[in-house]
Amino acid sequence: PEERQPVISVKRSGDNLYGNQVEILGPCRIVYQPDKPLGCGARLWIETFSDIHFIGGSFPATA
């Protein structure tokens, strides 16, 4: 099979990192707004001020 790209996007302070597994080390909130998506098109996202730990590494966004 072809190599799959990471699908989890973490946006923080203008940076965008991708991974396949993420652990949120504290409280978080899941937001679903199907009629008011974010500018990137997301209709479901997780918000947190907690630290994030990528399991298996993270990858910077590529153009």
Model confidence pLDDT, tens digit, residues 7-18 = 899 988 888 999
Average pLDDT for 14-31: 94
Q: How far is CA 22 from CA 25, 28, 33, 54, in A?
A: 10, 13, 22, 5
Average pLDDT for 33-54: 95
Q: Residue for token digits 């966004």?
A: 61
Average pLDDT for 19-34: 96
Average pLDDT for 36-55: 94
Task: Tell me the sheet residues that pair with 54.
Answer: 22
pLDDT over 80 (residue 62): no
Q: How confident is the model at residue 63, as a pLDDT? A: 52
Q: What is the DSSP string of 31-52?
A: EE-TTS--TT--SEEEE-SS-E
Domain extent listing, the chain: 8-60
* pTM of the shown model: 0.79
